[in-house]
Amino acid sequence: MRATIIDGARVANAILAQTHQRASAVATTLGRKPCLATVLVGEDPASHTYVRMKSNRCRTTGLDSRTHHLPACTTTSEAVALVRALSGDTGVDGILVQHPMPAHIDERTVFEAIDPGKDVDGVTHASFAAMALGSNGFQSCTPAGIMALLDAYDVDPAGLRAVVVGRSLILGKPVGMLLLARDATVTYCHSRTVDLSQVVAEADIVVAGVGKPALIKGDWIKPGAVVIDAGYNRGNIGDVQYAEAAERARLITPVPGGVGPTTIAMLLRQTITAAEQASS
């Protein structure tokens, strides 16, 4: 068996095309383009690259993009003050606080300063609660993108065993909640998991997101499983041993080109949703 490669760019482009149409309609209603504001603190190269990509996508999809770049010496209270100001700005529809932030900043406190109605990256406690409880709210963008990939390739999680490797608040925990809401049987794995290889070997769907290159070995993968690699490490290496896993999986995401494009697409889609809700 040789896995079919999941084309994240194709799925993202379809989402962005729909988003562009919605952006045009909202702009007519609002009298301005929908606006996504980004708060970027410090000089992390990967963060700057992501923000640049996001700004470019906004421009080509009919959104305005504002980037607020603060120096690395910014304090938590200064970052919170900016986020609160953006939350109260009627010209801003969505807010993205780029992470990771410098170590001296209390990232969680900054996240919680985002108005839940503008939390289009799905990072606040309110957004996580909405995901977990199945109520209205914005989903974490990478998990939402993962679900879009599964849908695009006709993977119905209902009744399947899904193993999520990683338990971060912006990836592992929320993607497990979304899979559970679609009737998968979900197991979370982490640094204290015993016999990780055996747990992964039982999975119909594997979602890896721990930031450890090639942690998931190819021979751990159950034949015919769906492998979603949300890890990204130096050298364009994911968390899954790609070549070997592709020999056993039915579907697999590449790194890059798999999960990444849909993350930005979901961010823009949710920004349009926030603008629509604000204008209604």
Q: What is the DSSP string of 158-200?
A: TT-EEEEE---TTTHHHHHHHHHHTT-EEEEE-TT-SSHHHHH
**In 3D, which of 263, 249, 157, 246 has the Cα closest to residue 209?**
263
CATH number of the structural domain spanning residue 95: 3.40.50.10860
Domain tally, the chain? 2
Residue pair 41/101 in contact by the 8 Å Cβ criterion: yes
Instruction: Specify whether the CB–CB gap between 225 and 253 falls below 8 A.
Output: no
- Residue ending a domain, among 127, 149, 172, is 127
- Among 74, 105, 127, give the residue marking a domain's end: 127
Q: How many CA within 13 A on the CB side of residue 235?
A: 7
CA distances from 270 to 76, 96, 140, 198 (A): 26, 11, 10, 37
* Cα gap 155→150, rounded to integer Å: 5
CATH of the domain at 186: 3.40.50.720
Residues 145 and 256 in one domain: yes
Boundary residue ending a domain (92, 127, 162): 127
Q: Is residue 17 part of a domain?
A: no
pLDDT of residue 17: 97
Same domain? 146 vs 209:
yes
The predicted structure's pLDDT at residue 280: 79
* 119 and 218 part of one domain: no
167 and 213 belong to one structural domain? yes
Among residues 33, 64, 93, 98, which one is catalytic? 98
- Tell me the pairing of strands 94-97 and 35-41: parallel
CA-CA distance, 196 to 220, in Å (whole number)? 9
150 with 228, same domain: the answer is: yes
Report whether 245 contacts 252 (CB < 8 A): yes
217 labelled catalytic: no
CA distances from residue 269 to 23, 65, 179, 193 in whole angstroms, order as listed: 9, 14, 20, 35
Which of 270, 274, 269, 245 has its CA nearest to residue 258? Answer: 245
How far is Cα 229 from Cα 254, in angstroms, rounded to an integer? 7
Residues 228 and 200 in one domain: yes
Asked whether residue 9 is domain-assigned, the answer is no
Distance of alpha carbon 21 from alpha carbon 23, whole angstroms: 5
Examine the residue annotation and report whether 121 is marked as an active-site residue of this protein: yes
Is 205 a domain residue?
Answer: yes
Note whether residue 265 is domain-resident: no
| From 64, 115, 119, 121, active-site residue | 121
Specify whether 73 is located in the same domain as 148: no
CB 184, CB 161: distance < 8 Å: yes
Catalytic, 173? Answer no
pLDDT value of residue 46: 86
Give strand pairing partners of 164: 188, 207
54, 118, 173, 222: the catalytic one is 54
Does 134 map to a domain? no
In this structure, the answer to whether residues 47 and 95 fall within a common structural domain is yes
What is the length of the chain? Answer: 280
Structural domain that includes position 207: 141-260
Whether residue 122 sits in one domain with residue 213: no
What are the phi and psi torsion angles at 161 (to 5°)?
Answer: -90, 120
Residue 213 tokens read as 């290159």
Residues 253 and 147 in one domain: yes
- For strands 185-189 and 161-165, give the pairing: parallel
Residue 275 covered by a domain: no
For residues 256 and 209, membership in a common domain is answered with yes
DSSP, res 138 = P
pLDDT tens digits for the chain (280 residues)? 699 999 999 999 999 999 999 999 999 999 999 999 999 999 999 899 999 999 999 999 999 999 999 999 999 999 999 999 999 999 999 999 999 999 999 999 999 999 999 999 999 999 999 999 988 899 999 999 999 999 999 999 999 999 999 999 999 999 999 999 999 999 999 999 999 999 999 999 999 999 999 999 999 999 999 999 999 898 999 999 999 999 999 999 999 999 999 999 999 999 999 999 988 7
Q: Which of 216, 261, 263, 224 is nearest to 243 (CA)?
A: 216
- Specify if 216 maps to a domain: yes
Q: Tell whether 94 and 186 lie within a shared domain.
A: no
Residue 108 lies in a domain: yes
